[in-house]
Amino acid sequence: MAEREWREASDMRQSTLTLVAILAVAAVLRFWGLGAGLPHAPGIDEPEIMNRAVGMMKSGDFHPHFFDYPTLYIYVQLIVSTVQFLLGATAGTWRSLADVGPVDFYLWGRAVTATLGVLTVLLVYVAGMRWGTRHALFAATLMAVIPLHVRESHYVLTDVPVTFFVALAFVLTLRASEHQRAMSFAWAGAAAGLAAATKYTGGIVLVLPLLAAWMSPGTKPSRLSAALGVLGGCLAGYLLAAPYTVLDLPAFLNGYAKLAGSYAGGSPEPGWPISFKHLQNSLKWPATIAVLSGLVFGIVRAIRGPGRVRWTIAVVFPVLYFWFVSRQALIFGRYLLPLLPFVCVLAGAAVVSGVSLLRRYEIPRRPRTLLITALTVLTLLPPAIESVKWNRMISRTGTVDLAYRWITEHVPQGASVTMECKRFDLPSDRYRIATVRQLRERDYAYYVDTDVDYLVASSQCYGPYFTNPQNHVAEYAEYMRIFEQSRELVRFTPTAEHPGPELRVFRVRSSKP
């Protein structure tokens, strides 16, 4: 019997208008404020991709010479940048490649990420339809408004694209378990390969089509052939998108070993509370409770049925991926993005099942409808509000923008500027620029002796020491010696209208005549 036959036909009626509205909301949240920080303050790690994509366009060398990320998303940005250049050249904007730099292509690059974010919402809906229309609509709505996904969809990074390919592998695995054909499993494996070619941890999703193939004894021609199809599809998808893994095997192995070393060893404290906190902060407590309830419900269904295969697929990946990420030495919220398609489906299952349970009791229709509406709103509204707040915040003129404008207007051309935290990029043709992790790493005499003219301090670096100086006596004193010996020219303190870190610009008092 096919996996989906047990569902009621009435539950399968697709609400096209509602889906379009959900996708529209997803698009607004992801494209709103898309150019924030540009051109002088791209997001952290965005240059890692854009500089290499534009470098490939200019040099014709498709070797990344960089293996912290696989190359799929770099190649995607290369294609997009090339198309943009051709259109710009046709319009007379540029006459040669010498006229352009990475900064000219960020907005289009971010638009690609935002588009993949919206398409991920659609994939969550398609996956959720295996449980029912209401499940799918709820899951897609939650995916559309989760602040973590909304925020990261604004940047040229690999986390949103890998989430798209993980969601695609999720959908194709569900489809393969229904069709029970080796070729269908091979396509799911190919999606897993593309996920791995976007970000190495995306390859964990390979376990889903392999598990589904093993749990589908009716697969034609056999479960073994389906498993081999999964592995072959994964290998083909990965190597097609990241060919220099084998074309320059030594460089890949060295690069990967260096990357893995920075994540290995784990944190001195358990990582799972940190990961859980990142997830909970984005979902908020009502949705988090729904996810945990859905996880428990999914485990029971995976054991008892009905729908053992799809429930197993839905619960295995988030548990396995959460365990893997939480064991790493470095844990960031965006690393959890590939969990979200599964999290949303599980939350949808919990909420819809809770609503169905209410219908078993003799509750009048009006109070029951109000209760159902309240439960849905309570789960979806808090993350939606956070997403709107974040978009409004990045759309304002921040302290980084104010500092950039002041420096370019008041600091003379040719001056030497040293910044900590590198919150923005100054024009390299106008200034001699240096960056340090923290200004206190060098004493004041060093800045004088190396002819540094200006220092830019950021509260993202000095802030913790100034908030609790009694706990950081040495660090606070080192900063204060630099601040007191310099002359503070201007300070940009964050407000509701001007969010961001506090930034201070100092003039170095040279001892030279």
Query: Tens digit of pLDDT for each residue in 224-233?
Result: 999 999 999 9
Instruction: Return the closest-CA partner of residue 478 out of 500, 454, 446.
Output: 446
pTM of the model: 0.93
Nearest to 193 by CA among 325, 70, 49: 70
**Is pLDDT at 300 greater than 70 in this prediction?**
yes
Domain coordinates in residue numbering, the chain: 15-39+109-258+278-394, 399-507
Element (H, E) at 489: strand 487-492
**Which carries the bigger pLDDT value, residue 364 or residue 419?**
419
Does residue 154 contact residue 113 with C-beta atoms inside 8 Å? yes
What's the distance, CA 220 to chain centroid?
37
At residue 7, the pLDDT reads: 44
∠ Cα 42 124 166 (to 5°): 65
Q: Cα dist. 118→30, 112, 455 in Å?
A: 8, 10, 41
DSSP secondary structure letters along 420-481: ETT-S---TTT-EEEEES-GGGS-HHHHHHTT--EEEEEHHHHHHHHHSGGG-HHHHHHHHH
- Residues 6 or more apart in contact with residue 204 via CB below 8 angstroms: 317, 320, 321, 324, 338
> How far is the CA of 359 from the CAs of 149, 168, 287, 371, in angstroms?
33, 34, 21, 11
Q: What is the pLDDT of residue 366?
A: 79
Q: What is Dmax (Cα atoms) for the chain?
A: 90
Are the C-beta atoms of 193 and 172 separated by less than 8 Å? no
pLDDT at 369: 75
- Vertex 195: Cα angle to 283 and 207 (nearest 5): 85
Residue 5: predicted pLDDT: 38
pLDDT-above-90 percentage for the chain: 86
**Angle formed by the axes of helices 72-90 and 106-128, to 10°?**
130
Phi, psi of 432 (to 5 degrees): -95, 115
Q: Is the pLDDT of residue 484 over 80?
A: yes
What share of the chain has pLDDT > 70, as a percent?
95
Beta bridge partners of 416: 432
Return mean pLDDT, the chain: 93
By C-alpha distance, which of 318, 301, 319 is closest to 310?
Answer: 301
What is the spatial distance between Cα 459 and Cα 472, in angstroms, rounded to a whole number? 15
